Amino acid sequence: MTPAKSIVDGQTLISSGGTFELGFISPSDSNNRYLGIHYTGTPDKTVVWVANRISPLNGSTGVLNLTGDGNLVLLNSTGYIIWSTGTTNAINPVAQLLNTGNLILIERTTKKLLWQSFDHPGNTLLPGMKLGWDITTNLDRHLTSWKSSSDPSPGDYSYKMHVNAVPELVLWRGSLQIYRTGPWNGGGFNGIPETKTTNMFMFNLTYNESEATYTFQVLDNSTLCRVLLNETGVVQRLVKSQPNLTWDPYWWFPKDPCDEYANCGANGVCNTTYSLFCDCLWGFSPKSPQNWKMRINSDGCVRRTALNCSSDGFFPLQQVKLPDTSNATVHSNKNLEDCEEWCLKNCTCSAYAIIEGSGCVTWTGDLVDIRLFTEGGENLYVRLSSSELGQIRDNHGKKRPVIVTIISSLVGLLLFVCFIQLLRKKNRKAKKQAQTISSHYKESRGNELELPLFDIHTIRTATNNFSDDNKLGEGGFGAVYKGQLEDGEKIAVKRLSKDSVQGIHEFTNEVLLIAKLQHRNLVRLFGCCIEGEERLLVYEYLQNTSLDYFIFDRKRRAFLNWQKRLNIILGIARGLLYLHQDSRLKIIHRDLKASNILLDEDLNPKISDFGTARIFKVDQIEENTKRVVGTYGYMSPEYAMDGIFSVKSDVFSFGVLVLEILSGKKNRMIKQAEAHVNLLGHAWRLWTKGRCLEILDEAVGCTYPESKVSQCIQVALLCVQEGSEDRPTMAEVVLMLGTESAQLPQPQRPGFYTATPLMERDWSSSNKITVTIEGR
| pLDDT of 343 strictly over 60 | yes
734 vs 460: CA distance, rounded Å = 42
Main-chain phi, psi angles of 188, to 5 degrees: 180, -170
Q: What mean pLDDT is reported for the chain?
A: 82
In this predicted structure, what is the pLDDT of residue 437? 42
Report the range of poorest mean pLDDT among 356-370, 426-440, 489-503, 524-538. 426-440
Do residues 658 and 712 both lie within one domain? yes
Mind giving me the DSSP string for 423-490?
HT-S-HHHHHHHHHHHHHHHHHTTS-----B--HHHHHHHTTTT-GGGEEEE-SSEEEEEEE-TTS-E
Kindly list the catalytic residues: 591
Q: Is 51 a member of any domain?
A: yes
Q: Is 157 a member of any domain?
A: no
Report the range of poorest mean pLDDT among 32-46, 425-439, 476-490, 637-651. 425-439
Of 181, 729, 207, 272, the residue nearest 520 (C-alpha): 272
In this predicted structure, what is the pLDDT of residue 273? 65
In this predicted structure, what is the pLDDT of residue 278? 87
In this predicted structure, what is the pLDDT of residue 757? 38
Report the range of poorest mean pLDDT among 439-453, 491-505, 619-633, 665-679. 439-453
In this predicted structure, what is the pLDDT of residue 125? 97
| pLDDT of 694 strictly over 70 | yes
Q: Is 197 a member of any domain?
A: no
Main-chain phi, psi angles of 748, to 5 degrees: -100, 175
pLDDT, mean of residues 208-230: 91
Grade residue 39 by pLDDT with cuts at 50, 70 and 90: very high
225 vs 248: CA distance, rounded Å = 9
Do residues 564 and 513 both lie within one domain? no
Residues 404/372, Cβ–Cβ less than 8 Å: yes
566 CA to centre of own chain = 19
Residues whose CB falls within 8 Å of the CB of residue 429, separated by 6 or more in sequence, listed in order: none
Tell me how many degrees the CA angle 124-125-129 measures, rounded to the nearest 5.
140
In this predicted structure, what is the pLDDT of residue 662? 94
| pLDDT of 505 strictly over 60 | no
pLDDT, mean of residues 493-521: 67
Grade residue 531 by pLDDT with cuts at 50, 70 and 90: confident
Among 540, 574, 597, the domain-final residue is: 540
631 CA to centre of own chain = 27
DSSP state of 729: P
pLDDT, mean of residues 707-712: 92
Q: Is the peptide bond before 254 cis (omega within 30 degrees of 0)?
A: yes
pLDDT, mean of residues 61-77: 94
Do residues 332 and 446 both lie within one domain? no
Do residues 682 and 565 both lie within one domain? yes
Residues 545/595, Cβ–Cβ less than 8 Å: no
Residue 384's SS3 state is strand
Among 345, 365, 395, the domain-final residue is: 395
> Torsion angle of alpha carbons 707, 710, 716, 718, nearest 10°?
-90
Residues 395/223, Cβ–Cβ less than 8 Å: no
pLDDT, mean of residues 615-639: 72
| pLDDT of 766 strictly over 50 | no
Of 312, 394, 374, the residue nearest 348 (C-alpha): 312
| pLDDT of 27 strictly over 70 | yes
In this predicted structure, what is the pLDDT of residue 445? 35
| pLDDT of 295 strictly over 80 | no
Q: How many CB atoms lie within 10 A of CB 374?
A: 18
Q: Is 198 a member of any domain?
A: no
Grade residue 364 by pLDDT with cuts at 50, 70 and 90: very high
Do residues 440 and 578 both lie within one domain? no
Q: What is the pLDDT of residues 81-115, one digit of tens each?
A: 999 999 988 999 999 999 999 999 999 989 999 99
Among 346, 361, 395, the domain-final residue is: 395
Q: Which domain holds residue 2?
A: 1-120
Total domains in the fold of the chain:
4
Helical ranges in 209-293 per DSSP H: 289-293
Do residues 732 and 596 both lie within one domain? yes
Residues whose CB falls within 8 Å of the CB of residue 507, separated by 6 or more in sequence, listed in order: 437, 477, 496, 535, 537, 611
Grade residue 186 by pLDDT with cuts at 50, 70 and 90: confident
Grade residue 301 by pLDDT with cuts at 50, 70 and 90: very high
Do residues 742 and 724 both lie within one domain? yes
CATH number, domain of 658, equals: 1.10.510.10
Main-chain phi, psi angles of 556, to 5 degrees: -70, -30
Do residues 342 and 426 both lie within one domain? no
Decide which of 252 and 352 is more confident.
Answer: 352
Residues 607/539, Cβ–Cβ less than 8 Å: no
Report the range of poorest mean pLDDT among 375-379, 481-485, 627-631, 652-656. 627-631
**How many helices, marked H, and strands, marked E, lie in the chain?**
14, 48
Report the range of poorest mean pLDDT among 413-417, 563-567, 604-608, 712-716. 413-417
Q: Is 406 a member of any domain?
A: no
Of 282, 275, 235, 280, the residue nearest 259 (C-alpha): 235
Q: Is 233 a member of any domain?
A: no
Residues 756/611, Cβ–Cβ less than 8 Å: no
312 vs 306: CA distance, rounded Å = 10
Report the range of poorest mean pLDDT among 153-167, 195-209, 687-701. 195-209
pLDDT, mean of residues 45-70: 93
CATH number, domain of 106, equals: 2.90.10.10
User: Which contacts of 36-39 are long-range, i.e. CB under 8 A and separated by 24 or more positions?
Assistant: 36/152, 37/97, 37/101, 37/103, 37/117, 39/224
403 burial (CB, 10 Å; 0-12 / 13-18 / 19+) is middle
Report the range of poorest mean pLDDT among 374-383, 435-444, 623-632, 652-661. 435-444
Residues 133/145, Cβ–Cβ less than 8 Å: no
Do residues 640 and 746 both lie within one domain? yes
pTM of the model: 0.56
CATH number, domain of 524, equals: 3.30.200.20
Maximum C-alpha span of the chain: 98
Tell me how many degrees the CA angle 275-276-278 measures, rounded to the nearest 5.
125
Return the amino acid letter for 773. Answer: I
Residues 576/588, Cβ–Cβ less than 8 Å: no
In this predicted structure, what is the pLDDT of residue 517? 73
Residues 636/724, Cβ–Cβ less than 8 Å: yes
Residues 48/226, Cβ–Cβ less than 8 Å: yes
Q: Is 245 a member of any domain?
A: no
604 vs 520: CA distance, rounded Å = 9
In this predicted structure, what is the pLDDT of residue 247? 83
Do residues 698 and 757 both lie within one domain? yes
- The residues that bridge with 598 in the sheet, in sequence order, are 546, 606
Q: What is the pLDDT of residues 638-653, one digit of tens each?
A: 887 777 888 899 999 9
pLDDT, mean of residues 419-441: 42
Q: Is 173 a member of any domain?
A: no
Please give the sequence-ordered ranges of beta strands (E in DSSP) within 651-756, or none if there are none.
Answer: 670-671, 676-677
Do residues 630 and 686 both lie within one domain? yes
CA 690, 696, 702, 708 torsion-angle sign? negative
Q: What is the pLDDT of residues 117-167, one digit of tens each?
A: 999 999 999 999 999 999 989 999 999 999 998 999 999 999 999 988 889
Do residues 663 and 737 both lie within one domain? yes
